[in-house]
Structure 1
Amino acid sequence: MTRFVDRPEFTDLVLGFEHTAFRLEVRDRYNEPSEAEVLHRFLSSGQLDDSYMSDWVEELGPRLAGGQRMDRVRVVSEPHSDYTRFGLALATYNTAAGEDIRYLPRHQAAGLDLPEHDFWLIDSTTLLILTFDDDDVLLGADLIDDPAVVVKHCYYRDVARRHAFPWIEYKTRVDLPESP
């Protein structure tokens, strides 16, 4: 069965993970209204205000230090979109909080049979397939409880992680400047 969950419930499900949370990101652009000002400043100056990520780091840092795990694989086009460059810079803070963020160039992902949709996999049992509007704004997610579909997404997670470069390696590979 599939059930649509709106943003507040979606956020609660993601942050409610007990052991692991994994996200596959396949879009070159995300239009998150709360990021608009920070993204604009980053694109014009190349600088990030670390206070933007402080709530995320405070929320997740102790949980991840205590043994919970949050991973992401970002499938990215090269050359990078503006949003991908922004995400690479933000990863400084995500990884400092303990997240494992990896990058998979789109041309390398092409032969891996990965899905073309973003998803969160929570504790390897709960699947959230993200839904966006035509302007790339996140609307919520389809909550999937079909065990076969969940297991297939566990497979996607494992394949993506195996082939992706850890953020620290990827940022060196693509010759990104050091973060602030």
Structure 2
Amino acid sequence: MRERYNAPREVESLQKFLAGTPDNLEFAENWVTSIREATSAGRRFARVRVVSVPLSDYSRFGLWAARFTTDAGEDIRYMERGQAEAVGLPNHDYWLFDSRTLVRMHFGDDDRFLGGEVIDDPALVVSHNYWRDAAWHHADRRDDFGAKHD
């Protein structure tokens, strides 16, 4: 949901991307390997990214970088912010694990990740499952979205 994530480990790769010399995202190698191993074992990794159009520099970088995790087996979809608002999605980031465990992400004013809050209220978990499904239904596959917004 955020326009950018101020992740220190991404700074160098983002700068290279913006300079027109993208790298191989070595900092994410362990994450990509984990996705590849998990999806090979039958687990599913999927996410929807909500972005503003025209894409910010950070969102363009994210769209480019997503090819590494999609190649490893993650299914990443994209949805324009206006459509997300029309569908009624919440304005915060969250992860769902096995549709039962909800983790709401918290960020500081500087867009740095502060931590995740595990939420066990069944009604909130169900609401977030609904929003996940609605987002998935309305989102475009990474490659299709990229073809429209490159």
Provide TM-score, normalisation by structure 1.
0.80
User: Whole-Å Cα distance in 1 between the matches of residues 143 and 61 of structure 2?
Assistant: 15
Shift of 1:44: 1.2
User: Whole-Å Cα distance in 2 between the matches of residues 29 and 149 of structure 1?
Assistant: 25
Residue 77 (structure 1) aligned with residue 77 (structure 2): no
User: Whole-Å Cα distance in 2 between the matches of residues 170 and 46 of structure 1?
Assistant: 22
User: Unaligned 5+ residue runs, structure 1?
Assistant: 1-25
Please tell me the residue identity of whatever aligns with 1:169: D
Q: Which of 89, 92, 95 is equivalent to 1:114?
A: 89
Q: Which range moves more in the overlay, 94-103 or 38-47? A: 38-47
User: Unaligned 5+ residue runs, structure 2?
Assistant: none
Partner of 2:6: 31
Q: Secondary structure at the match of 1:170?
A: helix
Q: Secondary structure at the match of 2:45?
A: strand
Shift of 1:36: 1.0
Q: Which of 131, 134, 147 is equivalent to 2:106?
A: 131
Provide TM-score, normalisation by structure 2.
0.95
Shift of 1:49: 2.1
User: Whole-Å Cα distance in 2 between the matches of residues 160 and 65 of structure 1?
Assistant: 25
Partner of 2:70: 95
Alpha-carbon deviations, 1:2-37, whole Å to 9, x = none? xxxxxxxxxxxxxxxxxxxxxxxx011110011111
Q: Secondary structure at the match of 1:69?
A: coil
Residue 64 (structure 1) aligned with residue 39 (structure 2): yes
Taking only the aligned residue pairs, the percentage that are identical comes to 47
Partner of 1:40: 15
